[in-house]
Amino acid sequence: MSLVLCPNVMLCEQVVRMANCICDDNGEPLLRVAAVCGRQGWPINKPNIIVSTPAALLNYLHAIDPERRRRAEFIRDVKHVVFDEADMLLCGSFQNQVIRLINMFRFDEKVLSRSKNSPSEKLVDMESVLENNEDIEADSIVADDEESEDETDVGKSLEEAEPVIVKKRDWRRAREIYERSKQYIFVAATLPENGKRTAGGELKRLFPEAKWVSGLYLHRHNPRLEQKWVEVTVDTQVDVLIDAVNHTKLLSSDNGVSRTMVFANTVEAVEAIATVLQGAGIECYCYHSESSLEERTRNLVDFQEKGGIFVCTDAAARGTDIPNVSHVIQAEFATSAVDFLHRVGRTARAGQPGLVTSMYNESNRDLVSAVRQAGKLCEPVEKAFSRKRSFRKKLKKRVRAGGNTLHVQDRIAA
């Protein structure tokens, strides 16, 4: 059995849909795939692939399986674990949940390895071991507590899992040599690895012998991507936004359907931009965390099928399957390189060209200069930031730039 872990329910459902598209010559699905998240419970028949969020899986394995029979069987059956959007899962509120699951799987590997190496030794009963699983989970936390004090501000789980009780132990215990019986695959479009507190640094610590495979343009500008940079002021930013949206009509489209994504940094800014566009006679869809799951799903499906203008926060910057987006507009410039890369990565996909229009103001002029310079030198954008610092915070250490960031809603009011 294989397990795919995703940061949210919508991405889980997307993975299930794509997996169900793998069919034989008669159109029959080759794989049995089940989602364990949201309103979907544990499958009656054993599937080939289970797709879930870390919190949902832990909830089912603990709260809904009080006798722990299902947990022991499930952990033993899983042979491949895929972590989608790994840079999110290895940081913030997801981190303890993911490490907890990894350590359960690792413990099972140790049990199997010891039983093979010592045939005379009785195989450990996983059910009885999981009854007292604090020992399993404790090995998953680094000994240096101070390294993880600030790791709780990135990513929000859609579901709450029970807290993990942590005991101080020597991390070397978890690195005990044993035969591997499971494969762990971490997939991400951005995976910063400079420093112990980044997702890449955490991955190197968890799996120091892991094999790394990356494309030519990891953290770099896509050569098929055309980028326009427009500095705006309070007086000009609305006009620039409307002109950029109208420019989409001149771009090549998919069967006459054009798609433009407009990014803002806050829910309030998304609503304000939508108001401006609708006031100019431009219909649009909104997508942000304060919308209901049903509304987000409906707007996303309509945008996928009908095209148009999609105004959103970074909630739509990753994990959403939107083909043939011809234009991405940053109405507010991204606050981190990870967000920047995921935003511009919505277009120029699958060999297609794309356009990104980035609007910025005086307060983030130096930031934009750093990003553009990285593109000219063919350097990773990652060098301009670290995961714990936004571009702006990092640049403030070098340049005491005056003025606050202008919020879209304030500009509109002006």
Phi, psi of 315, deg, nearest 5: -60, -25
Its CATH class, for the domain covering 2-206, is: alpha beta
Across 264-346, where does the E strand assignment appear?
285-287, 308-312, 327-330
Instruction: Tell me how far apart the alpha carbons of residues 94 and 53 are, in angstroms, rounded to a whole number.
Output: 9
What pLDDT is stored for residue 277 in this prediction?
Answer: 96
pLDDT digits (tens, 9 = 90+) for 170-194: 433 444 566 788 999 999 888 877 6
pLDDT digits (tens, 9 = 90+) for 341-394: 889 989 988 778 899 999 999 988 888 888 888 878 777 776 655 433 445 455
What pLDDT is stored for residue 380 in this prediction?
Answer: 73
Contact in structure between 288 and 354 (CB atoms under 8 Å) = no
- What is the fold, at CATH topology level, of the domain defined by 225-413? Rossmann fold (3.40.50)
Alpha carbon distances (Å) from 366 to 214, 319, 334, 339, 399? 29, 30, 13, 17, 9
Alpha carbon distances (Å) from 307 to 14, 193, 270, 302? 19, 36, 18, 7
DSSP, collapsed to helix, strand or coil, labels residue 358 as strand
Contact in structure between 245 and 282 (CB atoms under 8 Å) = yes
Structure-block tokens of residue 217: 């343009």
User: Given a cut of 90, is residue 285 above it in pLDDT?
Assistant: yes
Alpha carbon distances (Å) from 156 to 102, 161, 175, 292? 19, 12, 29, 16
pLDDT digits (tens, 9 = 90+) for 96-130: 999 999 999 998 888 888 777 665 555 455 555 55
- 197 or 11, which is more confident? 11
DSSP symbol at 386: B
Instruction: Tell me how far apart the alpha carbons of residues 391 and 396 are, in angstroms, rounded to a whole number.
Output: 9
What pLDDT is stored for residue 153 in this prediction?
Answer: 36
Question: pLDDT grade, residue 60 (50/70/90)?
Answer: confident
User: Given a cut of 70, is residue 220 above it in pLDDT?
Assistant: no
Q: Average pLDDT over the chain, rounded to whole?
A: 78
